[in-house]
Each structure stands twice: as C-alpha cells, then as structure tokens.
C-alpha cells in the first residue's frame, strides 16, 4: 500500500477510535462513521448494512444515499450485490454495478447515479454481522490497497458491534448477546436440561482494536509470537520419541507459528492502524471463513491448526486464559465448538447438558454423553459466538433444539415438558423389578449399553438384566498412550464385579472411522465408515487384539466371559478372530492363569453381507448382536451423520424389517441367541416392532429401559406382527402409520 493510503487508513482508524470513546447513541455513531469513511475513501457514498435476522439485511446508516431509505431498505441474504457479499463472505468490487451479476436496483435509495461499487463483509470469527459498502460516480474498480483498507475498517466495525457501540432501536441495532435465540442442531443424546452456559473455551474479547502506537504493537506482537513459538517447541521436545502422528501435528503447528506470510499479514494490519490483538483476530476470521468453504479434511485440519494457534496467541496478548476467574454455575450447560472424551470426562456428571457447534452423533463426545446420560445437541451453528458465560439456556436433546436466553413463555413450556418426563420416570421406577412379559406371554430381555464404570450403577436403578454391549474402546480413546494390559485387567475386573453375576458382553476394540486413537497413526481414507475399522484393525494389529483378549480372560478370574467382535462382514473374519481367542486361551492355560468358567464368542452383525453368510457361520457363532445403527446406514446407503439423508429412512420400513426377519429366521435354524443393539432398541415403537419380528433381547441406554418395558407390558406381539404383515401385503413403504393407529386405538 502506498504511504499516502497508509496514512489515510491510520487517520481513519484514529477517528474511529474517537467515535468509540464518544457518548453518541448507536444511530448517531453509525451516521458519523459512514461520513468518516466516505470522506477518507474519497467516495460519494458509504453505507452500512447489518443483519436484522439470519436471512435479512437492513440499511442502517448511509452517507450519500437517500436518508429516508435508512431502516426501510431491506434485502434477503444473496439478494443484490450487498446480499451476495453477505452470503458468500467475499468482496465484490466492480466499476459497473448495474451490469454486475446479481445487481438489484433499489429505487428508494437513489443509487442509480453511482457506477462503482465496493462491498466487504463485516464479520467476526465466522459470525456474519453485515456489509460495508462504498460507491462513487466514477466508473472505476477500487485498487487492492483501497479494498484492503476497507476490510480493515470492516473488521474494526465488527469489534465495535461486539462491544455494543451500535445499539439502538430496531432489530438490526438490537444489542448482541441479549436477544432470545432459537438454535437448531442434531440430537445426539436424548433428554432435556435447563441451566446456564459454561464455555469450554471462553471468548477472547478484543477491547482495543485500534492501535495508539504501531511500533509498540509490533513489539507486543513479536514478543507474543516468540512466546508462542517457545511453547510449541517445548511441546515438540516433550513429544520426541513418541507417536509419529502427534509429532506431525506439532510440526504443522511449528510451521504455522514460524510462517513468514502469517507474520507479514499481521504486521501490515498493524501498520494500517490495528492493534496486535485485532491483527491476529483478523487473520483468524479469514482462516475461519476459508475453513467453512473447504471440503478437503486435511486442509480443514490445517486451517483448524491455524485457528487454534491464533487462539493461543490472542490469549498471550490479552492475558485472557481459559481460567477466566469465573466460577462454574451450579447447573452448567457446556458450550464448545468441539470437545474430546478426556476433557468431557473431567467435567463428569456435573454437567446438565452439552451443546456443540461441531461434533457428530457418533463422536467420542456423544459416546461419553450417552454413558453419563447427559443431553447433547450437535451441529448448533453460531452457538460459541452467540453464547456468553452465565446465559440462561434450555437444551432439548430429543428434538435437537437449543433456546438461548429464552423468553418466559418458552421457559414455562419447557419446564412443563421436563415435569412430564420426571413423572414418567416415576412410573417406570414402579415396574423396575417386573419381568418384561408381553400380554401374549412373550418374555423379552432388556439389557443396557455401557462403556464407563459410571454406567454400571444403572444396572440396578434401570432394571436392566445385564450389559448387552460394553464398549471397550473408551479406555483407549481417553488416553494419550496405549493402556497397559494390567490397567485393562483392573478395569474389566471392576466391570464384572459391579455386574454382580449379570451377563456382560465385552465388545472388542471398535476403532477407526470416527474413533481415532491419538497415539495410533491415522490412515487418511476417502470413506472411513467403510474403511479400516473395528475387526479389520484387530486382525491387522493382532498384538493389540491379543493383549485385550488376555486382559479379558484374566479379569474374568474363573467367572463366565462373553466376548463379541464388531463389524464382522464375512464369516472368515469371525473364524480368524475366534482362532486368536482359542490361541490366547491355550497360552493363558500354559502360563497357569485361571480360565473363564464358560466362554461365549459372538459377532456383531452390522453389514448386510453377514445376514447372507453360509448357514455354517450361524452354527459356529455362540451369539449374534445386530448393530442397528451401522446396519441401517449401510442398508439404506444413508450416512447416519448426514442430516440431509439420515432422517429419510425409517427403521420401520418394510424392507428393513424384512431383513431383520431373515436374520431372526437364520438364527432360529441354528438355535443361535440373537439381540438387537442400537438407538432403535431404546425407542418404544421401534422396540415393539423388533420384538414382534422375533427379537427377544434388546440392548439400549439405561434411561430407555423404562419406556420400552412400559409399552411391551401393554402389548400383544401377535397382533403387532399381523399389522406388520398386513402393511407389507398392502405394499406400504413403512408400517409406522399402521402401528401408530393400532396403539392409539388400544390406548
């Protein structure tokens, strides 16, 4: 940028700083700012458009356009050039605005006189706030230096908006972080919770976006970057000799921390008048904007690294660490972009609910949340930028809805729902010890899923008859290094002790796909759900499989032991795994260890291919558990993490129930015990239909046992099976409507 423009840019930021210090009202301050920008940029027009809601922009101030258009001119996201800037977060710079793609003429503004148009987004850390526009009569494209200067000003405006500098009348000028918001995401763990926000990573607030002394700011930036680099070097030194993957991540960190381009851009921002903090945040905002448009997983990870480094640098510059001195509220709802299982376990049961901006229904965090029975909603856009520590918040894990700073009427309705759920739980407690026998005399076994010691007390409180699935991978996921065999022995022994003689099905290590061990080299795969995971990893890493089998055998201490292999796609995989079990048993016998009283070896049927295995496989296996979550996504070719498709396909689809029926028949021929494990087992309507198809053991989260048992006790499976058969005969796609009608008619 030319020296003259640098001087003008710095002058403009200086005048903006004076406006920040003034006591002018929001509208008056906006009006002054548009005048300052137009004057400095030597343009006839400067306009500020702000969002009044997620989809609508409003002209909030202008210099040069018709004054009566202020707060009257509105446009939808993507509409006109201004809407285009807002939608894509990109600069629009044209010498002939009326001829530009997407131009929309707004007669009430009088803009037809102006040919040149430059619009830049006003955004902060990925949060879109509005659009800043300058226009002139001369038909010219604005220079790169002018574009850059306007982007710097837009960034300062975003900081000013964050600090409440533009509060006034109307939706577009309403104060940030005060309005009631309804945010939608995806349900990952059922339940409802009311509480107050606790941010896992409190926001860094930049209170001085404009520099008084650029030389001093450069010194502060250089000192902070040096501290950052030393910290990264220390992390690298500690990790030397450790896992290669961890070292690669830290090497990428160091590469970014030493990036000359990163430093140069921040130094240029400071030269134009930004403070060190604002310069870092400007780079961070641009990285997040790029990250939102990148689909390549590797590039997204690298941009996430840069985002994390920026956070670390901001905390060094501002002194605002994660520990901000505030006390966690007594009813905390954790809010985070994402969180690992280790961090979540540290919070433990103190949390009332969890809301994640990212995450997934199959993530480590979701697994832990289910184990702790904490309502969880994922994919809640903007939650980390909208929420502040202490905000009142309602979490509906059943519907995937979050109410932030809710109005009284919403709170009242939500509390009524929670009271009804609590009343229902009391009713379920009264049938806890009642055997699950349907009205036509069929005995159904209801067992629970678990993965943590914290789950085991639910064996008594829920009425579960055993553990149908104990996820052993959680003990591997929450560590930074492979657990020792002795540690696993102690863990599995405590599980069996807590079960007090009830059957526990230990699923061997189910990693890969979305469950990546931090200390095992990650294999980049185009479709991880169909890739190197579960038993495939176990058969390729037999040392790990043997260690886990040894730990299970020793933990049994002569008691019955039940082992299940996950994601078996063909009979030969099961046979190889069973051979490893028998080989391990022989070795333990030679070493003089006590062998299990009985040993059951089963397989989890999660791929349609296994349903069509030779009958000999069903003769060989001791039991089969249908893994409903994966089986359904592969059967329908619908990714269960993809909200666009996963809800299209119903468990009560006639085709899927026909597959379940075939599996029941094949297990019946071999007299092989069969169970169903997954989210659908814990949904009363689905559980009823699965039982009607012949499944006699259902494995679910502990909280679902009461509702499922309550419905089964009141139902006749023969009648339900006839309804399913009739719906199939009529050619209906799903039996759900017919089943719901039957239940309504029978109370």
**658's tokens:** 């026909």
Spatial CB neighbours of 208, under 8 Å, sequence gap ≥ 6: 275, 277, 278
Residue 275 CA to residue 206 CA, distance in Å, equals: 9
In a 13 Å sphere around the CA of 602, the CA atoms on its Cβ side amount to: 25
Nearest to 678 by CA among 695, 698, 662: 698
Report pLDDT digits (tens) over 510-523. 877 656 666 666 67
**597's tokens:** 């009283």
Query: What does the DSSP 8-state code read for residue 77?
Result: T
Spatial CB neighbours of 286, under 8 Å, sequence gap ≥ 6: none
Low-confidence ranges of the chain (pLDDT < 70): 1-9, 126, 170-171, 175-176, 235, 238-253, 256, 288-306, 321-325, 341-342, 361-364, 478-480, 513-522
* Bridge partners, residue 356, by sequence: 336
| Alpha carbon 426 to chain centroid, angstroms | 32
**619's tokens:** 């003769």
Annotated catalytic residues are 364, 677
Unique residue bearing structure tokens 């959680």: 474
Residue 344 CA to residue 372 CA, distance in Å, equals: 10
Characterize the bridge pairing of strands 445-450 and 401-404.
unpaired
Contact 453, 498 (CB under 8 A): yes
Residue 393 CA to residue 376 CA, distance in Å, equals: 13
* pTM for the full predicted model: 0.68
Q: Give the domains, in start order, of the chain with CATH numbers.
A: 8-163 (3.30.450.40), 181-202+330-419 (3.50.30.10), 214-318 (1.10.274.10), 432-746 (3.20.20.60)
In 3-state terms, what secondary structure has residue 362? Answer: coil
Residue 328 CA to residue 469 CA, distance in Å, equals: 34
Tally of residues, the chain? 747
Contact 608, 631 (CB under 8 A): yes
pLDDT of residue 8: 60
Nearest to 540 by CA among 583, 577, 572, 579: 577
pLDDT of residue 3: 45
Residue 428 CA to residue 707 CA, distance in Å, equals: 7
Characterize the bridge pairing of strands 467-471 and 504-507.
parallel
Within a 10 A sphere around the Cβ of 528, how many other Cβ atoms?
A: 17
């Amino acid at each position: 940028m030319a020296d003259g423009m640098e001087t003008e840019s710095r002058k403009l930021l200086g005048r903006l700083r004076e406006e920040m210090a003034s006591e002018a009202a929001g509208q008056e301050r906006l009006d002054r700012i548009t005048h300052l920008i137009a004057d400095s940029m030597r343009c006839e027009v400067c306009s500020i458009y702000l969002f009044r809601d997620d989809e609508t922009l409003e002209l909030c101030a202008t210099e040069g356009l018709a004054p009566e258009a202020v707060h009257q001119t509105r446009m939808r996201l993507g509409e006109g050039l201004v809407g285009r800037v807002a939608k894509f977060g990109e600069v629009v710079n044209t010498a002939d605005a009326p001829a530009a793609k997407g131009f929309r003429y707004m007669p009430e503004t009088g803009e037809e006189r102006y040919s040149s148009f430059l619009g830049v987004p006003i955004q902060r850390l990925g949060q879109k706030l509005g659009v800043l526009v300058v226009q002139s009569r001369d038909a010219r494209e604005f220079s790169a230096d002018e574009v850059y200067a306007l982007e710097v000003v837009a960034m300062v405006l975003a900081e000013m908006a964050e600090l409440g500098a533009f509060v006034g009348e109307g939706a577009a000028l309403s104060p940030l972080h005060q309005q009631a918001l309804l945010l939608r995401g995806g349900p990952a763990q059922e339940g409802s919770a009311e509480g107050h926000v606790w941010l896992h990573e409190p926001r860094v607030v930049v209170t001085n976006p404009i520099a008084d002394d650029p030389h001093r700011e450069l010194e502060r930036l250089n000192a902070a970057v040096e501290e950052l680099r030393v910290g990264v070097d220390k992390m690298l030194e500690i990790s030397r000799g450790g896992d290669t993957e961890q070292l690669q991540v830290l090497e990428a960190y160091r590469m970014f921390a030493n990036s000359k381009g990163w430093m140069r851009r921040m130094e240029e921002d400071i030269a134009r008048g930004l403070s060190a903090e604002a310069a870092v945040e400007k780079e961070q905002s641009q990285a997040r904007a790029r990250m939102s448009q990148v689909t390549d997983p590797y590039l997204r990870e690298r941009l996430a690294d840069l985002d994390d480094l920026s956070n670390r640098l901001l905390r060094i510059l501002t002194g605002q660490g994660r520990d901000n001195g505030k006390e966690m509220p007594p009813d905390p709802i954790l809010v985070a972009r994402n969180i690992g299982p280790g961090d979540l376990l540290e919070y433990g049961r103190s949390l009332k609910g969890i809301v994640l901006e990212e995450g997934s229904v199959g993530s480590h965090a979701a697994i832990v949340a289910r184990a702790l029975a904490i309502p969880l909603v994922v994919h809640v856009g903007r939650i980390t930028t909208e929420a502040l520590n202490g905000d009142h918040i309602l979490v509906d894990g059943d519907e995937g809805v979050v109410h932030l700073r809710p109005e009284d009427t919403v709170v009242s309705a939500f509390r009524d729902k929670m009271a009804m759920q609590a009343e229902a739980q009391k009713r379920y407690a009264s049938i806890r010890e009642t055997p699950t026998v349907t009205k036509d005399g069929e005995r159904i076994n209801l067992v629970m899923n678990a993965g943590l010691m914290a789950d085991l007390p639910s064996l008594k409180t829920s009425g579960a008859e055993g553990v149908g699935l104990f996820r052993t991978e959680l003990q591997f996921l929450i560590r930074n290094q492979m657990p020792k065999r002795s540690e696993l022995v102690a863990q599995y022994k405590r599980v069996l002790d807590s079960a007090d003689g009830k059957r526990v099905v230990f699923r061997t290590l189910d990693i890969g796909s979305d469950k990546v061990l931090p200390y095992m080299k990650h294999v980049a795969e185009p479709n991880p759900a169909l890739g190197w995971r579960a038993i495939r990893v176990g058969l390729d890493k037999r040392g790990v499989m043997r260690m886990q089998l040894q730990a299970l055998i020793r933990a049994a201490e002569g008691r019955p032991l039940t082992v299940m292999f996950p994601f078996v796609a063909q009979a030969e995989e099961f046979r190889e795994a069973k051979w490893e079990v028998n080989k391990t048993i022989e070795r333990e016998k030679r070493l003089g260890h006590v062998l299990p009283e009985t040993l059951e070896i089963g397989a989890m049927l999660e791929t349609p291919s296994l349903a069509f295995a030779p009958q000999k496989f069903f003769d060989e296996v001791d039991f089969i558990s249908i893994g409903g979550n994966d089986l359904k996504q592969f059967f329908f070719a619908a990714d269960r993490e993809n909200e666009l498709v996963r809800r299209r396909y119903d468990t009560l689809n006639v085709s899927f129930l026909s597959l379940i029926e075939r599996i029941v028949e094949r297990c019946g021929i071999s007299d092989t015990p069969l169970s169903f494990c997954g989210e659908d087992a814990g949904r009363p309507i689905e559980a009823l239909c699965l039982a009607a198809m012949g499944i006699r053991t259902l494995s679910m989260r502990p909280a679902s046992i009461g509702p499922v048992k309550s419905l089964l006790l009141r139902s006749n499976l023969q009648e339900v099976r006839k309804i399913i058969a009739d719906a199939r005969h009529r050619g209906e796609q799903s039996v759900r409507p017919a089943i719901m009608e039957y239940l309504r008619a029978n109370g």
